[in-house]
Amino acid sequence: MKNFLIHRKIYYLLNFFILVNFFTSKVTAQTDSEYNKNLNSSLNAFIEVNAGNRIGKINPDIYGLFMEMCFNEFNGGIWAEMLKSRKFAGNDGEDEYYGVVKPWYPIGKNSKTVFRHDNSIFYCGRQSQKIISDNEGEHRCGIGQSGLYIKNSKNYDVRLNIRQEGIQGKIRIALEGKEDIYGVQVLEAEPDIWQRFELSLNSIASDRDASITITFQGSGKLWVGSVSMMPSENMSGFRKDIVLALKEMKPPNIRWPGGNMVSEYDWEDGIGDRDLRPPRFIRGLWEPNDVGIDEFMTLCRLIGTKPYIAVNSGDGSPHDAANLVEYCNGKSNTSYGRKRADNGHSQPYNIRLWGIGNEMYGNWQNGHVDEETYARRHLSFARAMRSVDKDIKLVAVGGRPWKYPDWNKTMCNISAGHFDYVSLHSYAKKYRRHMKKDDLKDPDFAREFYYYIVSAPHGIEEQITKTFHELQKSLSPGNDVKIAFDEWNCWAYMAPHELVDFSLRDGLYTAGVLHAFRRQNKAVTLGNFSKVVNALSMIRVNGPDLFFNPQYLVFKMYINHSGPHLIKSTVNCDDYPAPEYEKGRTQAIGDIPFIDVSATMSEDEESLYVAVINRHISKSVDAVIQLKDWLPRHQAKRISLACDDYMTENTFEFPERIKIEEEELKNVRFSRDIIIPKHSVTIFEFYKGPEKI
Ligand code: AHR
């Protein structure tokens, strides 16, 4: 006790000195020479965490994710399919590839071989690949797809639907390199019927540019309706490495299938026999519909998370949405519940969280209408969906008050009582349409952009408070509508298929948004980071290679090292003026502290987590952390994300330049003087101690 009092006195004294220091060293925007001069100096901060003062309950759903069925999030992402255009939708190649659906290529092309996409005889959608050979003897022809990254001794599951006429010999399926054959299987097909074959190919070599080939010798006709190839280690069709990474992260929920995509999505395209599902052209790419609601539910089960399903209110109808609710939640004696059971899922999924539509205020959205029409549309969707299951929770499309000033009010006036959440989205994107990644090579611009991004969470917080205030004004008392912040990320520049690269800077942004959600826990009870694999992602993949962006690492730290109770914390440190968002408009009001602290406690009150973001671009912080009303164990843990340069990125070549570091701390007392590195995120995990201090 005596020790404790001495410590307290010292630190209150220190606090006083630090405070004095603050008044004399208020930091504003730095010039280049100031920046260089200050590079290695440090700041001071005094952090007080009052463990006895719980100031809010954080809904774990704020740590949710958003996955969109477009670009390469599922195909070429978490779905283990290795082949492109596996259902032969789309156009032919040019010149000597004419007649062969891209990106497949012809094999054995000569004057006696014809390649055509066939729109009369097909297996799914409205097209198949046909090969007609008039050759004799051993001439081999067929199709192949290159660019497959295969590994030595690995097994690959191949499934194909083919039809033949007049082929005498066997049809060969092979994994090939430029010179060698790595694995091969042959099959005999009956004439004139579609037949499905499932086989396994084992590769005797690794090759980043292998091909799968489907060929036959001599004369005859072959139609290839669909082909699939996956590493045999897949988990129900999903990539094992990504599933395990998400399982470790423990996201509480995932929003699916879109996004803009949902406004043109027919959920019935995604059920039933996977090879028969129609491919559709969505957002510039052919979507084979291999992942539908049943596969998504399998993914949720594999990860251990819950689904949050969005329905199409763009060109979809209330009736379609109600059918989807029945497919998911209806007993197997209902019409759609029976379909689900017939598809192998006898038990209802009982999905609770449903979103109606996406960004319907936006002129980029399929089916975008004015707010009044939309509010009525929402009403008819909500009624239809709740007539199937009255217990579902509904998220309505909300709008940023300053951009769409009448949107939320109109939603409340017309359809109050028919939604439980209002959604908000935000992408930190100061110059997105004009910016290129190379612009960041200019150090002045990179610094300006750094502060813009790491400050953006304060803009989000403002968006939340303004919207919540507006909702409370527009809704009658007792109407407990919350905010679902169901898309957020930074999005610096435009990139094909949204393949944006991220750096440590973006990890600080991510932690900042999570702090903002926690602070606004009364308003925000659902959040969904956008997105997970490849597009704007936490996880990037290229063939079997994978790396984690800082956003993934921050989520993993925050979900695994936090509790549901928000604890009062105060920070004394320097701040800086909120950067400009658009010309003449700051993105948040007032000054932003360099140090942002968020303290939480576990349900059993055994662990206290103090998360600290140091936003300063070049200075570490000499911080005093003082714990009040808490007897800590002598050991604690420090979990951190830091590196020398805020522009550091993980890449396929260097996947671990940024990684989570864990360190045991010893001799922990009520107060602690500790260095928080420049531009870093740190969580201190303290445990309640039985020991006497
Ligand atoms: O790809 C990200 C898109 O951004 C989402 O589909 C949409 O909801 C938002 O406009």
Q: Do the beta carbons of residue 483 and residue 525 sit within 8 Å?
A: yes
Q: Do the beta carbons of residue 368 and residue 406 sit within 8 Å?
A: no
Ligand 1 within 6 A of CB of 487: yes
The pTM assigned to this predicted structure is: 0.93
Determine if the peptide bond prior to 166 is cis (ω within 30°): no
Please name the residue whose Cα sits nearest to atom 6 of ligand 1. 259
Strand residues in 258-392 grouped as ranges (E): 280-282, 285-287, 306-311, 353-356
Report residue 221 as tokens: 């006709």
What confidence score (pLDDT) does residue 583 get?
Answer: 62
Q: Do the beta carbons of residue 408 and residue 398 sit within 8 Å?
A: yes
Atom index in ligand 1 nearest the CA of residue 359 equals 8
Q: Using the mean position of ligand 1's atoms as its centre, give its distance from the Cα of residue 536 in Å.
A: 10
Atom index in ligand 1 nearest the CA of residue 498 equals 1
Residue type (1 letter), 292: G
Residue type (1 letter), 497: H
What confidence score (pLDDT) does residue 670 get?
Answer: 76
- Alpha-carbon distance of 600 to 685, in angstroms, equals 10
> What's the CATH superfamily of 95-231?
Galactose-binding domain-like (2.60.120.260)
Ligand 1 within 6 A of CB of 648: no
Atom index in ligand 1 nearest the CA of residue 427 equals 4
- Alpha-carbon distance of 560 to 554, in angstroms, equals 10
The domain segmentation of the chain, as residue ranges, is 2-58+566-688, 60-80+234-561, 95-231
Sign, CA dihedral 313-315-317-321, equals negative
* 60-80+234-561 and 95-231, same CATH topology: no
CA-to-CA separations, 157 to 34, 154, 183, 197, 413, in angstroms, rounded: 60, 10, 12, 11, 55
3-state secondary structure 194-237: CEEEEEEEECCCCEEEEEEEEEEECCEEEEEEEEEEEECCCECC
Ligand 1 within 6 A of CB of 260: yes
3-state secondary structure 38-77: HCCCEEEEEEEEEEEEEEEECCHHHHEEECCCCCCCHHHH
Q: What is the CATH architecture of 60-80+234-561?
A: Alpha-Beta Barrel (3.20)
Q: Using the mean position of ligand 1's atoms as its centre, give its distance from the Cα of residue 359 in Å.
A: 8
- Where the chain has pLDDT below 50, the residues are 1-39, 693
Whether domain 2-58+566-688 has CATH 2.60.40.1180: the reply is yes
Nearest to 595 by CA among 624, 559, 568, 566: 624
Q: In testing the pocket of ligand 1, which one of 359, 485, 498, 499 has its CB within 8 Å of the most ligand atoms?
A: 359
Burial letters 278-291, b for 16+ CB under 10 A, else e: bbbebbebbbbbbb
Q: Using the mean position of ligand 1's atoms as its centre, give its distance from the Cα of residue 637 in Å.
A: 38
What confidence score (pLDDT) does residue 584 get?
Answer: 62
Q: In testing the pocket of ligand 1, which one of 72, 73, 260, 365 has its CB within 8 Å of the most ligand atoms?
A: 260
